[in-house]
Amino acid sequence: MKKFLNSVDTVLTESLDGFVAAHSDILVLGEGHKFVRRRELKPGKVALISGGGSGHEPLHAGLVGHGMLDAACPGQVFTSPTPDQMVEAVAGVDTGAGCLYIVKNYEGDVMNFDMAAEMSEGVLQVVTNDDVAVEDSLYTTGRRGVAGTLVVEKIVGAAAEEGRALAALKALGDRVNASTRSMGVALTSCTVPAAGRPTFEIGEGEMEFGVGIHGEPGRRRDQLKSADAIAEEICTAISNDLGAAARGKALLFVNGFGGTPSMELYLMYNAARKIFETQGVTVVRSLVGSYVTSLDMAGCSITLSMLDEETAKLWDAPVHTAALRWGM
């Protein structure tokens, strides 16, 4: 294993120290490295809080700032944050209008966020489950929450910035999640620092089709195919799952898992866009890049989120975070 490390025991805290120092104009680190929050809080605004295991950067801490999250709770690598982290984040960012948790559908995340919600007042939750690859896995009950989580955080974050109420934001988040589907493919494994070896073995000419963002298995192990063939299967699975809803305007998001160069991500975007547009989708918004990663894994996911006039406007609304910035 070759990584820039001092110690596997301090990799998360040292990374968080560097991250917040690099973005000190917009971020503050909570006591004990339990959460990252916006430097400037907006009184009377519903606070959005998310989090999960580290290793998926820039999700979630990189999405804290104006127009998105108010706080993010980082767990150890691929490990859910603990309930006390979320409780302290609520205390750190709730300005009186309540808090909305945005939670990826993994068993540990859901359990710990549920416990934290019971320990705090004025908290509601949106659970994301956009992955169409599998219904169940070792990491979750039901569909996994993956790259579509970013779409929910951006759109709901913009609505929160407008001053919408807590219940309305939850309803919007649930609606965006229901309109969003994702699926990924891995060409290599990732290496968790504490393990020091790849999470799974995969041959030079193989791919893991439908992989999760922790390296957990997907639909099947298969021989490596052309980019067009991979995109065709993923896009068809997404369209079939959305059914009649997969018609009209949409956001197309091609996400890298950490070890895939931009050149290949844009190639996959080109392939996916052509396929979706032959199926009745009009791509009106786009995002390409490594935003929901799996450490150093080579691979990508494709996310399609159907848009209406309201959600397109909220996607376009100004945002200023470490990872996403526009309109400011």
pLDDT surpassing 90 at residue 227 = yes
The whole-number average pLDDT for the span 105-123 is: 94
Identify the CA nearest to 312 among candidates 284, 292, 288, 289: 284
Q: Is 230's pLDDT higher than 70?
A: yes
Which one of the listed residues 23, 56, 60, 66 is annotated catalytic?
56
> Is 66 a residue of the active site?
no
* pLDDT of amino acid 320: 98
Say which of 23, 60, 66, 214 is annotated catalytic: 214
Per-residue confidence at 140, pLDDT binned at 50, 70, 90? low
Q: What does the alpha-carbon distance between residue 246 and residue 18 come to, in Å, rounded to a whole number?
A: 42
Give the pLDDT confidence score for residue 195 in this predicted structure: 86
Q: Is residue 289 a contact partner of residue 261, using CB atoms and an 8 Å limit?
A: no
Share of the chain above pLDDT 90, in %: 89
For 62-142, where are the E strands, in sequence order?
Answer: 65-66, 71-77, 99-104, 123-128
Q: What angle do CA 107, 172, 305 make, to 5 degrees?
A: 75
pTM for this predicted structure: 0.96
pLDDT, one tens digit per residue, over 14-46 is 999 999 999 999 999 999 999 999 999 999 999
Worst-scoring range by mean pLDDT, 132-141, 191-200, 215-224, 294-303? Answer: 132-141
CA nearest neighbour of 173 among 108, 250, 100 = 100
The fold for domain 180-326 equals: Hypothetical Protein Tm841; Chain: A;domain 3 (3.30.1180)
Domains of the chain, residue spans: 11-178, 180-326
Catalytic annotation present for 214? yes
pLDDT of 1 reads 75
Answer yes or no: are the C-beta atoms of 88 and 30 closer than 8 Å: yes
Residue 266: per-residue pLDDT = 98
Token couple for 153: 């955080």
Give the count of beta carbons closer than 10 Å to the beta carbon of residue 318. Answer: 12
Choosing among 3.40.50.300, 1.10.760.10, 3.40.50.10440, 3.40.50.720, the CATH entry for 11-178 is 3.40.50.10440
- Rounded to the nearest 10°, the torsion over CA 222, 128, 38, 56 is -20
- What pLDDT shows up at residue 199? 85
Compute the mean pLDDT over every residue in the chain, rounded to the nearest whole number. Answer: 95
User: What is the pLDDT at residue 41?
Assistant: 96
Confidence at residue 139, expressed as pLDDT on a 0 to 100 scale:
64
- Element holding 172 (H helix, E strand): helix 166-178
Least-confidence region, from 97-111, 145-159, 186-200, 223-237: 186-200
